[in-house]
Amino acid sequence: MISFAALPFFVNTLSEGDIGILNILNSSIIFLTPIISMGALYTISVDYFKLTKPDYATVFSTSLLIPVVVSLLLIPLFFIFWQPLHRAFSFQRQFIWLIPVCLFLNFCFEAFIILLRVQNKVKLFATITLLKIIVEISLAIALILFAYVSWYSRALGYLFSILIIGFLFFFYIKRNRFLVNNLDFGILKKELLFGLSGLLLQTAIFFINTSDKFFVMAHFGKVQAGFYSIAGTFATIQYIVSTSLMQYLQPVLYKKFAEKEKWKNIKEIYKKYILLMLIASILLFFFTIIVYHYLLKESYRAYLHYFYLLCMSSLIWSVSNIFLQFIIFNKHKKVIFRLSLLSISFALLINYFAAYFLTIDWLCFGQIVTNIFVLSLILYYNKKLNCFG
């Protein structure tokens, strides 16, 4: 909530164009994270419950090679294609090095909190998460007030916060013997093969939840992207609540899946989760209306309806998220491939059609349609894999 408490400061201090650029930076990191991880984050989460500690340490250490190599490869690629990216998405020159560095450090942060979550180290998990937010927001505000009133100050606050977490991450995994020297290239090959399906799934999640922002930037400009981005940011609170609950529920569910628990024994978890998501949505509606009317610049109020549609979309995705866990746990490559490919195709079709032939309002509504389609697919494959048996 600290980041959202600081949001009015950033919105009222930075220009709509700066907000639009930050939106592209954030969306790029979300989009490229699965590409640099290649499914490694899924493996770190799932294999903790399947392997002995020495075997898990080997898998964990080997998995770290993938994001290092891919992040380095992105730097020359961004340098070569910077001009067309700049014309299409206002891609800034600083992104050439900033995005690859942030991607690797963000991977370290994600791997760190996954490791703490599966080990049930609640206090340390909360400390690391809070530390990142406090450093990020404090430094960004200080840079804006005393150095540059631009998107770059906000981005540097994020960079330095995850840099600190990165150092803590490597200290922790070395001290707890998760970082070992005996790398296994057989595991690396296996991870890359699974990583293709994991990559496709993460790409699908990006297209479902984030790709619309690129279409707004490309077809309606960075000012409209700024208005859309703020509405999306408030709608994302629903996503954050869902992710936070899943960080607690995922180890519980994975343990029950590993023990072959029947649906009748775990369905109460699903019911309580969905009820909490509904309550969160209602509270979020009232909270966002108050913020728009009393804390944000007047220019944003005319676009409050973007939030209503995007929040409904986020609610549907939060339900999809819990049913997706059974598919992820089983690592069923064909199901993941089909689900991902259908989701990407549908989301791309909806976003392209709305952006080219309709309006931003229809693009917002399209996110609801996309998420209903995706939820239907996930439920279908859950039934096919006998989740409800």
Per-residue pLDDT of 286-303, as tens digits, reads 888 888 777 777 777 777
Q: Under the phi-then-psi rule, with left for phi > 0, alpha for psi from -120 to 50, and beta for the rest, what region is 323?
A: alpha
What local confidence, expressed as pLDDT, does residue 39 receive? 67
How confident is the model over 30-40, as pLDDT tens digits?
778 777 776 67
> Quick one: average pLDDT of 259-270?
78
Among 71-75, 93-97, 251-255, 284-288, the range scoring the smallest mean pLDDT is 251-255
Helices (H), the chain: 2-13, 16-37, 40-46, 53-63, 65-80, 82-89, 95-118, 122-146, 151-175, 185-209, 211-258, 263-294, 304-330, 333-357, 360-384
pLDDT surpasses 90 at 337? no
Give the whole-angstrom CA distance, residue 320 versus residue 165: 30
What the block records as the tokens of 210 is 């984030």
For 206-232, the DSSP string reads HHHHTHHHHHHHHHHHHHHHHHHHHHH
Confidence band (pLDDT; 50, 70, 90) for 163? very high
Q: Domain residue spans in the chain? A: 2-384
Q: Measure CA 150 to chain center.
A: 24
- Measured CA to CA, the distance from residue 303 to residue 235 in angstroms comes to 13
Neighbours of 192 (CB within 10 A): 15
Q: How far apart are CA 1 and CA 10, in angstroms?
A: 15
Look at residue 75 and tell me whether its pLDDT is greater than 70. Answer: yes
Task: Count CB atoms within 10 A of the CB of residue 221.
Answer: 14
Interatomic CA distance for residues 269 and 249, integer angstroms: 8
Average pLDDT, the chain: 79
Q: Name the pTM for this structure.
A: 0.64
Q: What is the pLDDT of residues 191-237, one digit of tens each?
A: 555 566 666 777 777 777 776 777 776 676 666 667 777 777 788 77
Does position 164 have pLDDT exceeding 90, yes or no?
yes
| Of 66 and 2, more confident | 66
Q: How confident is the model at residue 2 (pLDDT cuts 50, 70, 90)?
A: very low
Question: 68 Cβ partners below 8 Å, 6+ apart?
Answer: 104
